[in-house]
Structure 1
Amino acid sequence: MDYRTRLQASIDCIRHCVRQGHALRGHDESEPSKNRGNFIELLKFHARGRQDVERVVLKNAPKNLQMTSPDIQKDIVHAIASEITKGIICDIGDDVFSILVDEARDTSIKEQMAIVLRYVNEEGYVMERFLGIAHVADTKALTLKMEIESMLVTNGLSLSKIRGQGYDGASNMSGKINGLKTLILAENSSAYYVHCFAHQLQLTLVAVARHHGDVGGFFKAVSDLINLVGGSSKRMDKIRECQAAKVVEALCRGELETGRGLNQELGLKRHCDTRWGSHFDTLLNLTRIYSSLIECLDIIIWEGNSDAKADASCLLRLVQNFDFVFILKMMIGVLSITSELSSTLQRKDQDIVNAMHLVRGAKFRLQEMRDKGWDSLLDSVFSFCNKESLPIVNMDDLYFPLGRLRRKSEEITNLHHYKVELFYTIVDMQLQELNSRFDEINTELLCCVACLNPDDSFADFDKEKLLKLATFYPNEFSKDDISHLDLHQLDAYIFDMKTVERFAGLKGIAELSREMVVSKKHRVFPLVYRLLKLALFLPVATASVERAFSAMNFVKNTLRNRMSDEIMNDFLVGYIESDILDSLDDECILHTFQNMKARRGSL
């Protein structure tokens, strides 16, 4: 009983540390130390006031059975990770699944590959669960495939059960000749590949910025501005002071409302081509602290060193130019559409059909902005210029670009330049890139999947296309199954769906899946539900993998860069899948730990 109490106390403390991603060991764990590390200190706190625990732990425990050594800590973390992984595998059962894969470097410059499983549980919910992370010697497609297969086999899974692949579009992943997707498709023809939707959106924005000189120059100026102002703590403090004073003035004039979460302190967010949505956040904050930035640049011109003065002077001329304000407002309008779409696509339970509709919706909104948004954009630009006392150009005057001889420039009006050469061109480039990046929306497989959509009382239902969809998965549908779908089940299914009130107003096939399980219709129409699950297996975005890498950088940081791959993987499983960790039974962890190897104590 003493051994069980001691082990239970250690497990409780380690569960908390894993749940929060905290380090276990300290720099000095000897008894005279004032800080013996998170685990020991937490164990001391846990035992305080609890006589049953205090009398059997730490100095009151036998010297050879204290259950606090580094090896014991690692074994407990491994036992926790094993139980979590076992729960995920049991949740999948004998069903099929999809994989989301990406690789990134950790803080010790080691290439790590993360795998996330996407599946539909017994309740009809789409789940994306972290399976594990593994160190790879290189990023060749064959190496990645071997590591994926090894990790799947270790956990009792198989490549033959994969029904979808999701990657970020890198050549080693999505290459048509020797890419990872091609190698897996060679062994499993039903493992269909979908390029990450959120990644494609970011590529669309980057392509527009690079292919249009004015927009590329604008983002270059924004980057220089962030480097000049955001690189100095003193300059950022000055911006905060100026912004705080302006907020107080606006509140006194009644221009701003007070309340929880309003008027928060803002900084300059650094945008990045590989960070989804960062461009929109950067530009939005830029408009909010614009006047404070101008004041800061003025101060740099007067008080800064020679290099900083020159940079600030050039940037001040650029930022106070009408062209800068126009592109700023225009790009905020464009990015508000794509950024909202990107955030929606990153939901774990997002389904491919709804994602396709969201992309089409974004294209429609961009086209609507092109057709009807010019006047509102111009009003917004003029209003901003008046508020900040900036010069406003006359749209009927001739346009003369900066840095070009007037005699060599074409005679065009300002209206033609800003409306046609900038506004129409940028929106058209965005639409063109969206159409080219999301070409798989027009493929036969996804067109067939779209017929399962329950929107508008199953208006997209097409029996022939759904029968065609079944032929894409020969391992799930035999000829007899397809015949039964054709003659009986599909007709009965669509009649039932359209006549039962609870299925009216559903949005997306994810909601349809959950509702079919709740109403037991998945047992009445098992073949249709199988089609529905296969459609849900198709991945939308690799956001879950990106979140895993964010967790990796938090768990294995510069102070913990000597962490081994095994303990990092076990830590990440518990930290990422914290909801499963919270539901774990202590008895399972106790027995898993006890059975890992011979122990001095016995339960």
Structure 2
Amino acid sequence: MYTSKTVQNQVIAIIADMIREEVTTLIKGDNAFFSIIADEVTETHSNREIMSLCLRFVARNNDQPVIKEVFFDLCYLTRTTGFTIAAAIKESLKTHGVDIQKARGQAYDGAAAMSSDKAGVAARICDVALMAVYTHCNSHILNLSIAASCKLPEIRNMIDTINSLFLLFNSSPKRQTFMELVLDVESTQTRKRHIKGLCKTRWVERHTCFETFQEIYEYVCISLEAISWPHLHPELELVTPSDLTSEKWNWQRDRETTVKAQGLLASLQKPRVYNGLRCCEELSPIVKRNDNQIAKEGYRHCLSI
């Protein structure tokens, strides 16, 4: 049965309200307190600012205290000032029957609009919830520290190279298919088929990209070399190598692709770029573990309180 998008959205809204109502019942008691977690981002499809609002509180599970962190609401923002963001948080909580005066904590990033003690979101929430202590998100601090320490030219150039390679193959089905052919012909060990894009906002989420790229590094180089100079890899000249009647790729007709491939191959073959990749691959799991440890320490701290 066909259901229009309007009805689908209504069903989703009803389900969201039911889930939200179940959550709010846990923080409506006299001794039920919570913390506010919020962050905003530009929604690329509609080109609008949107804020995610989460609540953190202690619940009971078989008489055992359990820390819960739940998604609560999405709010579109007309501006990203402290006044607008704070007003959106207060309005969302009021609309859904949550008493903001029971807030005992706030966690945002360190931007001035969020953290300013005079006009930021933290200060404006404290005007109505006096005991809502502001905490700069520890994961965000870790992310800022790593970003600041990775301004070395070797690391920066390596990241630029990976991003360029991701765009080169991801933006063209033909190039992506060719790299998959190279992996099928040249490798029998890896199951990876795509270069992963680097997370733009969180360094701690980049470890999977570095691991994947390190695993297929050799075959990416072969792909670029075969695009730049097809005669060096005659086994890859045909679209379907096992079929002698298959047409050729004819990369020489695509001058833009061959020029980009030659430039990226030259960058990949530089020792500094490869060493930068190896360093990031080795350090990323450590950073990820530290990020997880930060979350666990916060959990234990809440339980001790």
Query: Is TM > 0.5 for Structure 1 vs Structure 2?
Result: yes
The one-letter amino acid of 2:154's match is D
Distance 1:232 1:267 in 2: 12
CA displacement at 1:118 relative to structure 2 = 0.7
- Can you list the C-alpha shifts for 1:133-184, whole angstroms capped at 9, x where unaligned? 2333222211222222222223332232111101122221112331111222
SS in 2 for 1:164: strand
Aligned to 1:286: 213
Is 2:27 the partner of 1:92? yes
Are 1:176 and 2:111 an aligned pair? no
Q: Could you list the runs of 5+ residues in structure 1 that have no partner in the other structure?
A: 1-34, 40-69, 251-262, 355-507, 514-531, 536-603
Deviation at 1:111? 2.8
Q: Which amino acid aligns with 1:284?
A: E
Structure-2 residue corresponding to 1:36? 2
- Is 2:170 the counterpart of 1:230? yes
Tell me if 1:265 matches 2:192. Answer: yes
Identify the residue that residue 328 of structure 1 maps to in structure 2: 277
2:226 to 299, 309, 318: 299
Question: Residues 80 and 284 (structure 1 numbering): CA distance in 2 closer, same or farther, change over 3 Å?
Answer: closer
Matches within 5 A, 1:303-452: 303-304=251-252, 305-342=254-291, 350-352=296-298
In structure 2, the partner of 1:114 is 52
Superposed displacement of residue 236, structure 1: 1.8
Does the residue aligned with 1:125 lie in a helix, a strand or coil? strand
Deviation of the 1:125 alpha carbon: 0.7
Measure, in 1, the Cα distance between the counterparts of 2:11 and 2:276: 56
- Structure 1 residues 323 and 36: alpha-carbon distance in aligned structure 2, compared to 1, 3 A threshold: same
Calculate the aligned-residue CA RMSD, in Å.
2.8
Provide structure 2 residue ranges, at least 5 long, that are not aligned to the other structure. Answer: 230-250
- Separation in 2, partners of 1:339, 1:150: 35
Preserved CA contact (<8 Å) 2:155 2:277: no
* Mapped partners of 2:278, 2:213: distance in 1: 11
Cα distance, 1:173–1:89 mapped onto 2, change above 3 Å: same
CA apart distance, 1:340: 3.1
Deviations 1:323-371 (A, max 9, x none): 222221112112221123335656xxx452x6xxxxxxxxxxxxxxxxx
Q: Name which of structure 1's ranges 284-293 and 178-187 shifts more when overlaid on structure 2.
A: 178-187
Tell me by how many angstroms 1:283 deviates.
1.8
Which residue of structure 2 aligns with residue 83 of structure 1?
A: 18
Task: Give 1:192's match in structure 2, choosing from 119, 133, 142.
Answer: 133
Larger radius of gyration: 1
What is the match of residue 161 of structure 1? Answer: 102
For the residue of structure 2 that corresponds to 1:133, the secondary structure is strand
* 1:512-523 map, 5 Å: 513=303
The one-letter amino acid of 1:339's match is K
Alignment of 1:102 onto 2:29: no
More helix by share: 1
Counterpart Cα distance in 1 of 2:271 and 2:77: 51
CA contact (8 A) 2:147 2:203 kept: no
Q: State whether residues 272 and 279 of structure 1, in contact with CA within 8 Å, keep that contact through their aligned partners in structure 2.
A: yes
Aligned length: 277
Relative to structure 1, the CA distance from residue 177 to residue 82 in structure 2 (aligned partners, 3 Å threshold; closer, same or farther) is same
Q: Counterpart of 2:209 in structure 1: which amino acid?
A: T
The verdict on how the C-alpha distance between 1:74 and 1:300 changes in structure 2, with shifts beyond 3 A counting, is: closer
TM-score (norm 2): 0.79
Deviation at 1:270, TM superposition (A): 1.0
The CA distance in 1 between the partners of 2:215 and 2:10, in whole Å, is 51
Equivalent-residue separation in structure 1 for 2:10 and 2:162 (angstroms) = 50
Q: 3-state DSSP class of the match of 1:156?
A: coil
CA-CA distance at 1:119 after TM superposition: 0.5
Q: Deviations over 1:483-521 (max 9, x none)?
A: xxxxxxxxxxxxxxxxxxxxxxxxx356xx4xxxxxxxx
Q: Are the counterparts in 2 of residues 104 and 112 from structure 1 also a CA contact under 8 Å? A: yes
Structure with higher RCO (Cα < 8 A, 6+ apart): 1
Instruction: Give, in angstroms, the shift of residue 77 of structure 1.
Output: 5.3
Q: Which amino acid aligns with 2:47?
A: I
Find the residue that maps to 1:270 and give its secondary structure: coil
Residue aligned with 1:119, SS = strand
Taking the aligned partners of 2:116 and 2:180, their CA distance within structure 1 comes to 48
Percent identical: 23
The 1-side partners of 2:51 and 2:185 are apart by 48
Question: Which structure has greater strand proportion?
Answer: 2
